[in-house]
Amino acid sequence: DIQLTQSPSFLSASVGDRVTITCRASQGISTYLAWYQQKPGKAPKLLIYAASTLQSGVPSRFSGSGSGTEFTLTITSLQPEDFATYYCQQLNRYPSWTFGQGTKVEIK
């Protein structure tokens, strides 16, 4: 099975900060990666798919990059509503889809 490791697991940041979250795959997955945002008590929300394609309606301050085994999610100017937990998901080999363990972004 393909394992995904996110780093950091937790980060503390201020409004306006640039934030980068990394997701590393245990084997190459091309660009078959998605990113989700989840707020407490809510379902996840799709942000990015195919590693770098922004889902419709998602603010442009979110961006994704990478291929193979290393991927990043960047938030260029953190807004109050961005404080949440972020997950990457590999969709390289259906049906064995897996998620990273999550990165919690909290207010400094």
Partner 1 sequence: EVQLLESGGALVQPGGSLRLSCAASGLTFSSYVMSWVRQAPGKGLEWVSGISDSGGNTYYADSVKGRFTVSRDNSKNTLYLQMNSLRAEDTAVYYCAKDGTFWSGYGYYYYIDVWGKGTTVIVSS
71 binds partner 1 (CB under 8 A): no
E strands, the chain, in order: 4-7, 10-13, 19-25, 33-38, 45-49, 53-54, 62-67, 70-75, 85-90, 98-99, 103-107
Q: Residue 87 has which token pair?
A: 């997950």
Residue 9 vs 77, nearer CB to partner 1: 9
Say how far apart CA 86 and CA 58 lie, in whole Å: 14
64 binds partner 1 (CB under 8 A): no
16 binds partner 1 (CB under 8 A): no
Q: Which of 49, 62, 64, 73 is the binder for partner 1 (CB under 8 A)?
A: 49
87 binds partner 1 (CB under 8 A): yes
State the minimum distance, in angstroms, from the CB of residue 32 to partner 1. 6
Piece of 13-21, 33-41, 59-67, 73-81 that binds partner 1 (CB under 8 A): 33-41
Supply the DSSP symbol for 69: T
24 binds partner 1 (CB under 8 A): no
Residues 6+ apart with CB under 8 A from 15: 78, 79, 80, 107
Size of the site for partner 1 (CB under 8 A): 27
